[in-house]
Copies of this chain bind each other. A is one copy, B any other.
Amino acid sequence: MSQKASPATGTGPCSGRQYRFASRMAKTPKSFIREILKVTENPQIISFAGGLPNPGLIDVDGIARAAASVLAQDGRSALQYSTTEGYLPLRRYIADRYKKRLGLVISPDEILITNGSQQCLDLLGKVLVNPGDHVAIERPGYLGAIQAFSLYEPVFHPILLHEDGPDMAQFAHEIDRNAIRFFYGVPNSQNPSGITYSEDRRREIGKLLADRDTLVIEDDAYGELSFDGTALPSLRTFLPEQTIITRSFSKILAPGMRLGWVVAPQQVMDQLVVAKQASDLHSNYLSQRIAYEYLLHEDIDKRIEGIREAYKQQCGLMISLIEEMMPDTVTCTHPKGGMFVWMTLPEKISSMEVFEQAIRDQVAVLPGTPFYVDGGGNTTLRINFSNATPEKIRAGIGRLSRVIRALERE
């Protein structure tokens, strides 16, 4: 398991003092995305490198109405300390929505409100992972999860992703060989690959893990962003006592409100609440109240429908341009939802080279290597379509294909 480590000790430019850091910090990959996003902050650059929702689809007016209403009607309470678990009516709303959308019976007591779903991953690492514990993750796997879990020093076992989900033979092999504490996956429109697990594959995962101690962390960031509104069954359907779900309002309401949640069986939840309290007492209460007010009085379903439709157009345009303009040696996934397309280059072209050349032509893409906990992925690229206009998609894919064609000729 090779990982790029950030230096855990060192002297700064202005001070001779040596600081000692916890050894877990050396295990945490420095965010490659973070460094790249700095390069792409230049507004001249067409960026497919990030993972931002389309800001034009955020309902600023609706949120402003909700904020004004909460502050006018119950501001003193909304601005005070609150409970670690989160605002109960909001947790009830989330529970009801699971019932309606997926037929899942979830108690509000099994839901904890977090600072975006990234915090779920940190809390789960805290509660579940001893150093050296075995953890299975998709290959490629979500970088935010790799970063969050790495601080708790697990041994990662990457499971190859096919177009319909994890490689079940490899999964079974890893499960038999190691005491896997949990499998972490993104079954709906995965980040970074855009892959959605088939219903069969979900059922097979259920069969493989039933009667075992292995838990499943189902990161459902994009579950409501399937382009045609399809809602495939959660792994909780097959593994009700073993599945933990993480999600957030970032992709359907607004990321700046930092509201996510984790669904977990009661015993796990009890430990998550202890960890959450020690970590930051509770999530932003004002935002929780605003979100609930919004959900109560505005039409979130219509909003989500609008986001789906827009992303479907943006994704469709991007794929058709890739197929039209790129050499035949380039392949890409055909996502059914979410925010990313995953591109694979011919073997002789490195994605890092593509990144460096493309940035000179003012288009930014994300090399796939940081999504591989075991190295590899040198010919892969993650391309974000949610935060680009059709014009930018046309211009950006045009420039990118010229860069790739030039590298292929070299």
Interface residues of A (CB under 8 A from B): 6, 8, 10-12, 14-15, 17-25, 28, 30-31, 34, 52-53, 55-56, 58, 60-61, 63-64, 67-68, 71-72, 75-82, 84, 114-116, 118-119, 122, 126-130, 133, 144, 147-148, 150-152, 181, 213, 215, 241-242, 250, 254-258, 265-268, 271, 274-275, 277-287
C-alpha spacing A63/B20, complex, angstroms: 41
Q: How far is the CB of A29 from chain B (nearest CB, A)?
A: 9
Residues A281 and B22 in contact, CB atoms below 8 Å apart: no
Expressed in whole angstroms, the Cα–Cα distance for A84 and B38 within the complex equals 12
Selected from B130, B148, B150, B279, the residue in CB contact (under 8 A) with A122 is B279
Name the residue of chain B whose CB is nearest to the CB of A269: B12
User: In the docked arrangement, what's the CA distance between A20 and B214, Å?
Assistant: 10
CA distance A28 to B127 in the complex (A): 11
**Residue among A14, A25, A64, A285 with the most chain B CB within 10 A?**
A25
Q: Are A279 and B81 in contact (CB under 8 A)?
A: no
Chain B residues in 8 Å Cβ range of A130 = 22-24
Cα distance A254–B127 in the bound complex, in angstroms: 30
Task: Provide the residues of chain B in CB contact with A277, threshold 8 Å.
Answer: 31, 34, 147
Name A241's contact: one of B17, B25, B55, B278 (CB within 8 Å).
Answer: B17
Alpha-carbon distance between A112 and B388 when the two chains are bound, in angstroms: 30
Residues of B within 8 A of A11 (CB): 267
Closest residue to A114 on the B side, CB-wise?
B280
Instruction: Please judge, given known A-B contacts A127-B21, A267-B19, whether A255 and B118 are in contact too, CB under 8 Å.
Output: no
CA distance A72 to B133 in the complex (A): 49
Which 10 A-B residue pairings sit nearest by Cβ, starting from the closest?
A: A60-B75, A79-B254, A256-B285, A64-B71, A119-B280, A115-B280, A79-B256, A147-B278, A81-B255, A284-B284
Further 17 A-B residue pairs, CB within 8 A, beyond A14-B266, A258-B281, A258-B282 = A12-B265, A15-B267, A19-B267, A20-B213, A22-B126, A22-B127, A25-B274, A31-B277, A56-B76, A63-B71, A79-B254, A79-B256, A115-B283, A118-B279, A148-B279, A151-B275, A257-B284
Q: CB < 8 Å: which of B15, B61, B75, B148 contacts A64?
A: B75
Bound Cα distance from A147 to B126, whole angstroms? 13
Minimum C-beta distance from A247 to chain B (A): 14
In contact, A148 and B278 (Cβ under 8 angstroms): yes
The listed residue with most B CB atoms (<10 A of its CB), out of A24, A152, A278, is A278
CA gap between A126 and B350 in the complex, in Å: 35
Q: Are A79 and B58 in contact (CB under 8 A)?
A: yes
Question: Across the two chains, which residue of chain B brings its CB closest to A67?
Answer: B67
**A19: B residues at CB distance < 8 A:** 215, 265, 267-268
